[in-house]
Amino acid sequence: MSLHLAALALDNAAQILDHLGRCFAHRVAHEGRFSRPLLDAQQPTAFLYAHLLADLEAAQAGLRYATQQGPYEQELAQTYAALMLRRFLQRLVLREHEFGWQGDIYASLQTHRHWIEATLATPRLVALGQTLLDRDAEWSGAYGVSEDHEDVRRVFARFADEKVAPLAESIHRHDGILPEPLLQEYAAMGVFGISIPDRYNGSFVDHLTMCLATEELSRASLGAGGSVITRPEICAKALLKGGSDEQKRRWLPAIARGEVLVSVAVTEPNAGSDVANVRVSARPTDGGYLINGEKTWCTFAGRANVFILLARTGEADAGHKGLTLFLVEKPAKISETDHHHFSSTQRDGGRCEGRAIPTLGYRGMHSFSVCFEDYFVPTTHRIGEEGQGFALQMEGFSGGRIQTAARAVGVMEAALREAIRYAQDRQVFGKPMSDYALTRVKLVEMAATLMVSRQLSYHVASLMDDGMGGMEASLVKLLACREAESLTREAMQIHGGMGYSEEYPVSRYWLDARVLSIFEGAEEVLALYVVARQALSRYLSP
């Protein structure tokens, strides 16, 4: 097989998608400008378009990476490219008219048909599956990072295996909370400061380092591992963008050292991904503001010392322009015997009370619904000016989305490892399950999917280091989180009935993966209003 043929096929797909985008952009525009109502009227097509873009970007990232790697990685990259093109055809044939294009997509890709068929031929995939099974590690290919980054990865991998993994199942099965000794070890490792510059006592090197640390910790546990980085990441990004020098000096070093633990309070019962619809109010009072209303899905709210909270300081009809961001302090509840509820009353009577929301998975920090009643926050704790909250929160979320993609990659890595182990050990009809063609093909497709998801996240991390990649962070989250759900499902299926039991961790991976496409921006919202909107806007007048 040839990477050159794969590249030609992907270039052709990119040209087709470019034609579709140009045509569709005019269907969602009014007088040459993007129109939200017109997009909303054609949401299914826009949703499909965003996913096709994500698939194409992943396939291209896989090929770029594979050119610097060995034959095994090149074979995996071609496999994903062919899978992507087959899916491309399956989704688009007879739907060209929805985009307003008169071309024939099937005919346009006919020249690559034989390459796609040969790449996905069962004998080839079965043989590649044997190569996969013969490898001692890195079943989804070499990581392709520098020696310095590889050293970082090994440190976090060892920590994940020795410190986090032994606790993961117990925390999940008993709905437990991160134990204090583990939090202290995270702090000592610099985990909470991994997105904070060293001038504020942080340990930030680059976004790739953050992705590597997140992957390895998430491989051991999503809730008790990689997710501990998310809230400090979101808060730090917002502070670095809009905080005063005094706020940065006060809060960032304390967050980096793990002395201040953060919970994000943005979502509300009637305002999830529609952040501009936030209704929790911050009413001016002497020396500050009084917070009133309910926030939900505030992860780690019980143990946290501070919320980064988005509240409405302007009129309701002001939309996102009426939102302001605050740091809201509260006492941390450290008890490990009663960690599903907290209540705090201020000296002047302001109250803040939270109750944990029961969840299928993603356990270890708990997500809370939190009610505020005249809860006072001083003016010094406002980040930026009134009305800047939405933009600052989005700055934080862009970092959170690339980090969530890395969390998805970590969960996929864990699931693939378990699937390979089980397939090799389990005897079915007198021979190992891994000897069967279907099992091998599944494992190859899983490995290829994991590889490109990882490499796309690394590519986006490099863009973010250069001050770009906001839309791409949403795109890789869209892709990796969807693929995590699919991959963990296949890993569970390979386990058969034991996958549905609680004897093997693969059921935990599947439950945890399900939340990834929901939090940090729901899949539908990211696809429609970030990825599709920004991609289509490129074809319209400024």
Specify whether 520 is catalytic. Answer: yes
Give the number of other Cβ atoms within 10 Å of residue 157's Cβ: 17
d(CA 534, CA 491): 35
> Which percentage of the chain shows pLDDT scores above 70?
99
Exposure string for 115-138, b = 16+ CB within 10 A, e = fewer = bbeebbeeebbbebbeebbeeeee
Q: What is the DSSP string of 92-143?
A: HTT-HHHHT--S-HHHHTGGGHHHHHHHT-HHHHHHHHHHHHH-SS-TT---
Residues 6 or more apart whose Cβ sits within 8 Å of residue 367: 296, 297, 298, 299, 301, 356, 357, 359
* Residues 345 and 281 both lie in one domain: yes
Q: Please say which residue of 391, 423, 445 terminates a domain.
A: 391
**Residues 17, 113 share a domain:** yes
Residues 418, 504: contact at Cβ < 8 Å?
yes
* CATH number of the domain enclosing 290: 2.40.110.10
Does residue 201 lie in a domain region? no
Stretch 285-295: mean pLDDT, rounded? Answer: 95
Q: Is residue 101 part of a domain?
A: yes
349 shares its domain with 442: no
Residues 31 and 138 in one domain: yes
Cβ distance 65 to 26 under 8 Å? no
* Inside any domain, residue 486: yes
Picking from 391, 410, 444, the residue at the C-terminal end of a domain is: 391
Which pLDDT score is estimated for 335? 66
Say whether both 7 and 133 belong to one domain. Answer: yes
- Average predicted confidence (pLDDT) for the chain: 92
Predicted confidence (pLDDT) at residue 62 exceeds the cutoff of 90: yes
pLDDT per position as a tens digit, 125-168: 999 999 999 998 899 999 999 999 999 999 999 999 999 999 99
- Residues 347 and 449 both lie in one domain: no
How much of the chain exceeds pLDDT 90, in percent? 77
| Complete DSSP assignment for 402-413 | HHHHHHHHHHHH
pLDDT, residue 491, reads: 97
Tens-digit pLDDT profile for residues 292-351: 999 999 999 999 999 999 999 988 777 778 899 999 999 887 766 678 899 999 999 999
Active site residue: 483, 490, 520, 523, which one? 520
Q: Each residue of 370-410: pLDDT tens digit?
A: 999 999 999 999 999 999 998 888 877 777 788 999 999 99
- Residues 31, 86, single domain; the answer is yes
User: CA torsion 10→483→458→4, rounded to 10°?
Assistant: -20
Q: Which two tokens stand for residue 389?
A: 């909250």
d(CA 271, CA 406): 26
In this predicted model, what pLDDT tens digit does every residue of 205-237 receive, in sequence order? Answer: 899 999 999 999 999 999 999 899 889 988 998
Same domain? For 30 and 131 the reply is yes
| Owning domain of residue 265 | 258-391
Instruction: Please indicate, yes or no, whether residues 119 and 23 belong to a single structural domain of this protein.
Output: yes
Domain count, the chain: 2
Examine the domain organization and report whether 280 and 362 are in the same domain: yes
Per-residue model confidence (pLDDT) at position 391: 86
Residues 275 and 336 in one domain: yes
28 in any annotated domain: yes
Q: How do residues 422-470 score in pLDDT, each as one tens digit?
A: 999 998 999 999 999 999 999 999 999 999 999 999 999 999 999 888 8
- Tell whether 436 and 529 lie within a shared domain: yes
